[in-house]
Amino acid sequence: MGGFLVCPSDSQGVVLLYKSSTFVCLESIIILYEDIDDTVLCHGYEEGAVLLKLEMRANGSHLCIAGTHLYWNPARPEVKRRQAEILKEACMRFSSNSTIIMGDLNDLPGAQSCGVHAALPSDMTSAMDTCLGGIEPPPTTSTPSFTGCLDYIYYTHTTLECCAYWASSFVRVLLPDQYNPSDHIPIAVRFRIPKS
């Protein structure tokens, strides 16, 4: 089961899938950022997000999960920051103590960041930072013009425990290639969800 967003004039999209034997979906929201903010900041950019509010069948714990794709152009950091703010506001409306935000944030880590990370909720931390012990995350994309980490998984560190981080491989070749049909490699995290 899940939620899916296809950008109107593009073949890109965002999908969130969950095991229906483990979770019940209480609510889902699909966001096109330009529909929320049609000012010059977001107008004409078709990025979006999918949000799911899930309940664990085993113990009734609630979890907000958001998947997103933010604007790509490094020359327009204000667009990415505004999209991240819209996502943060939408997650807060779900009012879940436990939140996971993941996706292609199109922002570099650490000091190189254009501010997207700072626009996310303050009680969230990068799962890669936690699992990799604070070292620079490995690249998640490699194209002829850029190699670096643009994909992240953030979580509410006060209510979720990050147990493991996984990436399909460290990027050593240009993407896409014969093993990776996308220009980004898959990343995953294992969390422990406490009882509500």
Q: Within a 13 Å sphere around the CA of 156, how many CA atoms are in the beta-carbon half?
A: 19
Q: What integer pLDDT is reported at residue 156 of this predicted model?
A: 93
**Residue ranges, the chain, pLDDT below 70:** 1-12, 40-43, 111, 169-172, 194-196
DSSP 74: T
Q: What integer pLDDT is reported at residue 146 of this predicted model?
A: 87
Torsion of CA 130, 100, 191, 16, to 10 degrees: -130
Q: What integer pLDDT is reported at residue 90 of this predicted model?
A: 92
Q: How many residues does the chain have?
A: 196
